[in-house]
Amino acid sequence: MMGLPGAGPLRSVLYVPGDKPRAIEKARALAADAVILDLEDAVAPEHKAQARTNVRAALLAGGWRVPVLVRVNGLGTVWEHEDREMALLSGACGLVLPKVEDDRAALELSLGRPLWAMIETPRGVLNAPAIAAVPGVAGLLVGANDLARALRTRPHPARIPLLHALSAVVLAARAHGKVPLDAVFNDVRDPAGFVQECEQGRALGFAGKTVIHPDQIEAANTAFGVTEEQAQQARALLTAWEEGRAAGRSVVTFGGSLVEGMHADEAQEVLALWAARQQTVIDRPEGND
């Protein structure tokens, strides 16, 4: 399946280096909500051409159960045109464009396929609202490694030096109805730190997290998903809301708290996330292995 990114939940979005065929094949069976086949920073210059060939083959072979995007090399690089042409002709359901700095770049690349803009430079952060406003842009992804380097920040376990930028990206995306995706967590051997960062990302308003290793998928799906108890609560709230509306009330109370239309909408979102989780369990009963 290669559906439209943004149509379903994107709790976990897995980067897979284009020059690692084994990882590309492995990604087909993993429980990420979407996959990004990467031609940019995960691939050394001498492997770019082979990576493009691998990605083309993986796309044309089909059989993907989740949306597959391609991260192309950036504007001004020697690889940009061939990457974009390959991605568009091979059926990628969206392009991830790195280091987007203004809406002009995003507009030029409105190619009739959803564009996912990476915000990973200071100018990109400052221009995030204009970038998010471009109709062809489906979502914004934070690139915290590039951003931290450009800002000269120091690593911090709670990402305090980046908080302003993270929130700016969420604000810009949400203001334009686009999907904000949180940055990768580099230490694939630190599951506790990863969970902590996922929870922070969810609290900040991100819709999901970009991940770099199979072991990070389940934790991201959990952090950006919902529990059975939350789903039950949402169902009960919706019942109370619908009964109240049918009785002609504009607002109702549920468990002693005020419920208005936006709470009902929120409950619907919770149920959509729950349904996505159930689907994952049905599709992949044996987990990620």
Ligand X SMILES: CC(C)(COP(=O)(O)OP(=O)(O)OC[C@H]1O[C@@H](n2cnc3c(N)ncnc32)[C@H](O)[C@@H]1OP(=O)(O)O)[C@@H](O)C(=O)NCCC(=O)NCCSC(=O)C[C@H](O)C(=O)O
Residue 183 interacting with ligand X (CB under 6 A): yes
Comparing CB distances to ligand X, the nearer of 22 and 285 is 22
Other beta carbons within 10 angstroms of residue 196's beta carbon come to: 15
Comparing CB distances to ligand X, the nearer of 31 and 144 is 144
Stretch of 5-13, 17-25, 225-233, 237-245 contacting ligand X, by CB under 6 A: 17-25
Residue 83 interacting with ligand X (CB under 6 A): no
Q: Which long-range contacts (CB under 8 A, 24 or more apart) does 108-114 make?
A: 109/75, 109/84, 109/136, 110/134, 110/135, 110/136, 111/84, 111/136, 112/136, 113/87, 113/88, 114/4, 114/5, 114/6, 114/138, 114/139
The tokens for 50 are 């082979």
Residue 72 interacting with ligand X (CB under 6 A): no
Residue 17 interacting with Mg ion (CB under 5 A): no
97-156 residues in contact with ligand X (CB under 6 A) are: 120, 143-146
Contacts of 281 (CB under 8 A, 6+ apart): none
Nearest distance, CB of residue 221 and Mg ion, angstroms: 23
Residue 212 interacting with ligand X (CB under 6 A): yes
106-145 residues in contact with Mg ion (CB under 5 A) are: 120, 143
- Closest to 184 measured CA to CA, from 58, 44, 70, 16: 16
Comparing CB distances to ligand X, the nearer of 14 and 97 is 14
Stretch of 85-93, 201-209, 211-219, 243-251 contacting ligand X, by CB under 6 A: 211-219
* Annotated binding residues: 71, 120, 146
User: H or E element: which one contains 60?
Assistant: helix 48-61
* Annotated binding residues for substrate: 71, 120
Residues in contact with Mg ion by CB under 5 A are 120, 143, 146
